[in-house]
């Protein structure tokens, strides 16, 4: 009886201790995480970040992703007026032509920005800007200075100095400097995505091209349109397609190359197949080394030897993944069922036949699914590695971002990268399902 | 019905032959793809594979030569770059924590039997797919443009990807969770948050932790590589030291060493903890 009481008391005490520990852990763990986050909050200077952030950059980025601008520029020395999309030579309207919102009338040019806002380029490098809710702004170059009719406190969307006048409204932007007068008019969409202005197919709809009369004599519409689209000098669709292909190629060669190298090595490093324990130990350390020298370091070392390009990226992935696959494959080999192997061996099969029919069929589904999983994630890595070694879509993406000008191109690349990765996900997921559940 | 054994055997032999033919064909196509792929990659590379091969040790040799000359300064370099390394590890740790938090919520919202709005499960799954699909570098570069260089863009970028990746793994864990505690809690009127926190999380926590550790390891590598494109930490320092060129590679060597040791250390540590978790779970 007394022993029962004693044991009951000790049990109570033990359970109390367990509960206390659980309570402590459930308070201490979130507390530690919170304390760590607080430390990082100050270590990363999150407060200072809000001040350093350039929200105007964010705005440019956002608006540029879904809109484009057309520049109307007057050279203030020659008086010549040109119209071009995104201000690029490739987007120039041929001389003498202009969109219908730009009307030339002898010496002056009238630009209708929409919303009742009208800019007029007047002779003698003068400018007149009618804004319905504000009034009329007049400005002109007088000698080397800009003279305007603006007085008093200016709203924050106008900035005026002796050498520069800039007016930004929700319809567009006007700027006047000594050398040129420029008007930006914003429109929705990605202009010239299909054809540039010099292509005969510009302005035609899909049905016109497919079923309409021949646009260029002696050439089928579809062939001509595909050619002009593919070689679009503004969007470079052919280059972009190549870059995507190069990125997938890097991932493919790296992943499967690593699998081919790692498979025989894994046999030497698996406990149940290793001929020598010393070899097994050495190989395991080699795998650790190859994995430990990260893809970044491999990329740097290899880029020095092979120069920039897809081969360098493929080899960097290959070397890192040889380490990972070597480790994973040898672990898979250590877990094989020995019954099948003994069964095959009992029929008097040669060593190679034992491997071929006793081991390989057991591990193939596991190995292939691991390899496919890596292939999928390496498509993403290849984008980053490409940015460093200079190959594939990663390079195009970083270049377009570093110039900080054509964000619609950046958006285009991002969409393509995401689609590429999702496609790879789907394909490899489908293949893995098929392999695991049997064909 | 007459039973003809020879026919069965020949049928079987034909099946085997066909299977071998398909297997052989697949292997052949694969070999062809690999060979032509390497040929193509080689052609588009700035330097060829065979011309580059003898030079592969030139750079490590140059780094080693510089290091050997300044061997006494290496410990000082290691100390000097340690804060940068700490930043890289912090980026990885915070992004893993934040990613795991969002991943947990997303996974609970997209697991059948646990989701509060079952009709929304496909929506949350697609959200996780998209989070996983956007490469870190894309978000990092965009945020660098807005927020300027530093650790925060990298952290947010990695956290984005991590929440998608962990969310998917976590929801697979959730599917195997026992629903009885959840039902028990529901019967006493617990709200959704309470049911998840008290009924599901204790069951899945060890598995979550193990996946989180694995992700942390991956994220250290990712944060180092993002540093190289301008997002702070040890990668950024590595890029700077690399640009100083021949004769000054000793600092780069110190960074290589730090990075290598960190990766190996966390690799070993996380596999040790994960093994212990698994063996504890077996008791």
CB of A175 closer than 8 Å to CB of A217 = no
pLDDT > 90 fraction of chain B, expressed in percent and rounded: 26
Minimum mean pLDDT range among A48-57, A189-198, A307-316, B123-132 = A189-198
Structure tokens of A268? 């030497």
- pLDDT tens, position by position, B41-73: 888 887 778 887 888 888 888 888 888 888 888
Q: How far apart are CA A189 and CA A194, in angstroms?
A: 12
Measured between beta carbons, which residues in chain A are less than 8 angstroms from residue B42? 311
Q: Over 80: is that where the pLDDT of A193 sits?
A: no
Q: How far apart are CA A371 and CA A255, in angstroms?
A: 7
Q: What is the mean pLDDT of chain A?
A: 83
Across the interface, of A249, A250, A388, the residue whose CB is closest to B228 is A388
CB–CB of B58 and A256 under 8 A?
Answer: no
Residues 301 to 320 of A: which have CB under 8 A from any B CB?
301-302, 304-312, 314
pLDDT number for residue A2: 52
Write b or e for each residue in B8-27: b if 16 or more Cβ atoms lie within 10 A of its Cβ, otherwise e.
Answer: eeeeeeeeeeeeeeeeeeee
* Between B276 and A190, the higher pLDDT residue: B276
Residues A122-149: what's their mean pLDDT? 81
pLDDT number for residue A255: 95
Distance from CA of B93 to the nearest CA of A (A): 10
Are B109 and B31 part of one and the same domain?
no
pLDDT number for residue B2: 56
pLDDT number for residue B282: 44
Are B202 and B270 part of one and the same domain?
yes
pLDDT number for residue A245: 92
Are B27 and B106 part of one and the same domain?
no
pLDDT number for residue B177: 87
Interface test with A, best of B133, B169, B249, B254 (most A CBs within 10 A): B133
Across the interface, of A253, A295, A301, the residue whose CB is closest to B37 is A253
CB of B139 closer than 8 Å to CB of B164 = no
Cβ neighbours of A299 (radius 10 Å): 26
Q: How far apart are CA A122 and CA A140, in angstroms?
A: 9
CB of A325 closer than 8 Å to CB of A258 = yes
Cβ neighbours of A363 (radius 10 Å): 17
Measured between beta carbons, which residues in chain A are less than 8 angstroms from residue B236? none
CB of A372 closer than 8 Å to CB of A432 = yes
Q: How far apart are CA B24 and CA B18, in angstroms?
A: 10
Measured between beta carbons, which residues in chain A are less than 8 angstroms from residue B255? none
- Establish if B230 belongs to a structural domain: yes
Under DSSP, the state recorded for A92 is B
Across the interface, of A44, A58, A383, the residue whose CB is closest to B152 is A44
* Between A105 and B103, the higher pLDDT residue: B103
Q: How far apart are CA B111 and CA B24, in angstroms?
A: 41
Q: In sequence order, what DSSP letters do the residues of A346-357 get, joined into one string?
A: HTT--HHHIIII
- pLDDT tens, position by position, B190-226: 999 899 988 898 889 888 988 899 899 889 989 988 8
Are B118 and B34 part of one and the same domain?
no
Are B249 and B110 part of one and the same domain?
yes
Q: A5 and chain B: CB distance < 8 Å anywhere?
A: no
Q: How far apart are CA A56 and CA A1, in angstroms?
A: 81
Structure tokens of B98? 């934040």
Per the DSSP assignment, residues forming a β-bridge with A177 are A164
Q: How far apart are CA B125 and CA B127, in angstroms?
A: 5
Are B201 and B264 part of one and the same domain?
yes
Q: A47 and chain B: CB distance < 8 Å anywhere?
A: no
Measured between beta carbons, which residues in chain A are less than 8 angstroms from residue B34? 253, 256-257, 260
Q: Over 70: is that where the pLDDT of A206 sits?
A: yes
Interface test with A, best of B30, B209, B225, B274 (most A CBs within 10 A): B225
Distance, first Cα to last Cα, chain B: 57
Q: Which residue of chain B has the CA closest to A30?
A: B97
Across the interface, of B41, B134, B155, the residue whose CB is closest to A310 is B41
Measured between beta carbons, which residues in chain B are less than 8 angstroms from residue A57? 145-146
Q: A10 and chain B: CB distance < 8 Å anywhere?
A: no
Are B106 and B146 part of one and the same domain?
yes
Instruction: Find the domain containing B264 and state its range.
Output: 61-282
Q: How far apart are CA B20 and CA A357, in angstroms?
A: 13
Question: Which option is the CATH number for A237-437: 1.10.3720.10, 3.30.930.10, 3.30.465.10, 2.40.50.100?
Answer: 1.10.3720.10
CB–CB of B224 and A306 under 8 A?
Answer: no
Phi, psi of A154 (to 5 degrees): -90, 145
CB–CB of A52 and B147 under 8 A?
Answer: yes
- Cβ neighbours of residue B140 under 8 Å, at least 6 residues apart? B153, B154, B156, B157, B226, B229, B231
Structure tokens of B60? 């490590």
* Between B124 and B74, the higher pLDDT residue: B124
Instruction: Dump strand ranges (E) for B35-136.
Output: none
Are B193 and B71 part of one and the same domain?
yes
Q: A294 and chain B: CB distance < 8 Å anywhere?
A: yes
Closest CA to A259 of A414, A402, A411, A371: A371
Structure tokens of A362? 């057991």
Number of domains in chain B: 2
- Establish if B170 belongs to a structural domain: yes
CA A48-A49-A51 angle, to 5 degrees, is 70
Q: Over 60: is that where the pLDDT of A3 sits?
A: no
Are B131 and B161 part of one and the same domain?
yes
Q: How far apart are CA B76 and CA B71, in angstroms?
A: 10
Q: Over 60: is that where the pLDDT of A1 sits?
A: no
Are B169 and B121 part of one and the same domain?
yes
Structure tokens of A399? 């270049």
- Cβ neighbours of residue A375 under 8 Å, at least 6 residues apart? A251, A252, A255, A256, A424, A428
CATH number of B218's domain: 1.10.3720.10
Across the interface, of A46, A61, A302, the residue whose CB is closest to B152 is A46
Q: Give how far Cα B135 sits from Cα of A46, A414, B18, B261, Å.
A: 24, 9, 42, 26
* Between B176 and B149, the higher pLDDT residue: B176
Q: How far apart are CA A369 and CA A362, in angstroms?
A: 13
pLDDT number for residue A434: 80
Phi, psi of A199 (to 5 degrees): -80, 140
Q: How far apart are CA A376 and CA A421, in angstroms?
A: 7
- pLDDT tens, position by position, A44-68: 888 888 777 777 777 777 777 777 7
CB of A87 closer than 8 Å to CB of A116 = no
- Establish if B51 belongs to a structural domain: no
| Burial of residue A50, with CB atoms counted within 10 A of its CB: 0-12 exposed, 13-18 middle, 19 or more buried | exposed
- pLDDT tens, position by position, A371-420: 988 998 899 889 888 888 878 888 888 888 877 667 778 888 888 888 88
Q: Where are the alpha helices (DSSP H) in B110-248?
A: 121-133, 136-147, 151-175, 180-187, 192-194, 201-228, 234-243
Interface test with A, best of B22, B37, B257 (most A CBs within 10 A): B37
H or E segment to which residue A198 belongs: none
Cβ neighbours of B274 (radius 10 Å): 16
Quickly count helices (H) and strands (E) in chain B: 12, 0
Closest CA to B157 of B82, B84, B234, B225: B225
pLDDT number for residue A165: 84
Structure tokens of A237? 């669709």
- Establish if B52 belongs to a structural domain: no
């Amino acid at each position: 009886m007394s022993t029962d009481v004693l044991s009951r008391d000790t049990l109570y005490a033990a359970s109390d201790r367990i509960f206390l520990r659980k309570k402590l852990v459930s308070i201490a763990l979130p507390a530690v995480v919170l304390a760590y986050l607080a430390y990082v909050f100050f270590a990363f200077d999150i407060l200072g970040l809000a001040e350093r952030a350039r929200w105007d950059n964010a705005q440019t980025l956002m608006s540029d992703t879904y809109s484009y601008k057309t520049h109307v520029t007057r050279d203030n020395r020659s008086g010549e007026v040109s119209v071009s999309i995104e201000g690029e030579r490739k987007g120039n309207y041929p001389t003498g032509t202009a969109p219908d919102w730009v009307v030339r009338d002898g010496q002056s040019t009238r630009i209708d920005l929409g919303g009742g806002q009208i800019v007029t380029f007047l002779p003698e490098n003068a400018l007149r800007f009618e804004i319905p809710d504000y009034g009329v702004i007049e400005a002109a170059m007088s000698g080397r200075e800009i003279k305007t009719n603006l007085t008093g406190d200016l709203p924050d969307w106008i900035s005026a100095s002796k050498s520069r006048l800039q007016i930004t409204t929700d319809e567009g932007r006007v700027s006047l400097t000594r050398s040129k007068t420029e008007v930006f008019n914003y429109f929705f969409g990605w202009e010239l995505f299909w054809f540039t202005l010099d292509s005969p197919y510009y302005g035609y709809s899909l049905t016109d091209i497919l079923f309409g009369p021949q646009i260029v004599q002696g050439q089928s519409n579809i062939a001509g349109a595909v050619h002009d689209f593919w070689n679009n000098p503004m969007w470079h669709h052919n280059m972009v397609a190549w870059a995507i292909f190069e990125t997938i190629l890097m991932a493919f060669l790296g992943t499967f190359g690593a699998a081919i190298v790692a498979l025989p090595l894994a046999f030497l490093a698996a406990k149940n197949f290793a001929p020598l324990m010393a070899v097994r130990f050495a190989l395991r350390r080699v795998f650790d080394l190859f994995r430990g020298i990260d893809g970044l370091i491999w990329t740097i070392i290899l880029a020095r030897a092979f120069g920039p390009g897809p081969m360098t990226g493929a080899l960097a992935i290959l070397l890192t993944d040889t380490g990972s696959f070597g480790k994973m494959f040898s672990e898979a080999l250590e877990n094989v069922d020995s019954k099948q192997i003994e069964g095959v061996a009992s029929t008097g099969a040669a060593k190679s036949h034992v491997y071929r029919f006793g081991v390989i069929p057991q591990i193939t589904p596991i190995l292939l699914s691991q390899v496919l999983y890596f292939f999928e994630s390496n498509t993403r890595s290849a984008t980053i590695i490409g940015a460093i070694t200079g190959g594939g879509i990663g390079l195009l993406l970083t270049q377009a971002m570093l110039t900080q000008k054509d964000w619609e191109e950046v958006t285009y690349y991002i969409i393509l990268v995401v689609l590429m990765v999702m496609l790879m996900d789907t394909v490899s997921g489908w293949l893995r399902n098929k392999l695991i559940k049997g064909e | 019905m007459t039973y003809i054994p020879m026919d069965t055997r020949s049928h079987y032999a034909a099946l085997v032959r066909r299977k071998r033919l398909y297997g052989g064909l697949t292997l052949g196509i694969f070999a062809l793809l690999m060979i032509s792929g390497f040929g193509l990659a080689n052609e588009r590379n700035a330097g060829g594979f065979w011309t580059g091969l003898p030079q592969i040790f030139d750079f490590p040799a140059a780094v080693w030569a510089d290091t050997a000359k300044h061997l006494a300064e290496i410990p000082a370099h290691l100390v000097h770059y340690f804060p940068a390394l700490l930043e890289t590890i912090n980026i990885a740790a915070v992004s893993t924590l934040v990613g795991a938090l969002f991943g947990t919520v997303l996974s609970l919202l997209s697991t059948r039997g646990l989701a509060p709005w079952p009709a929304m499960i496909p929506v949350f799954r697609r959200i996780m797919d998209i989070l996983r699909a956007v490469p870190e570098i894309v978000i990092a570069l965009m945020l660098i443009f807005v927020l300027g260089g530093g650790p925060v863009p990298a952290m947010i970028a990695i956290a984005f990807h991590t929440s998608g990746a962990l969310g998917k793994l976590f929801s697979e864990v959730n599917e195997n969770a026992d629903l009885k505690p959840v039902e028990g809690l529901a019967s006493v009127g617990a709200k959704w948050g309470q049911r998840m926190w008290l009924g599901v999380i204790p069951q899945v926590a060890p598995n979550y932790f193990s996946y989180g550790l694995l992700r942390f390891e991956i994220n250290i590598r990712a944060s180092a590589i993002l540093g190289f494109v301008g997002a702070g930490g040890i990668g950024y320092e590595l890029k700077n030291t690399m640009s100083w060129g021949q004769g000054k590679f000793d600092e780069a060597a110190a960074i290589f060493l730090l990075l290598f040791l960190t990766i190996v250390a966390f690799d070993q540590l996380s596999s040790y903890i994960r093994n212990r978790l698994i063996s504890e779970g077996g008791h």
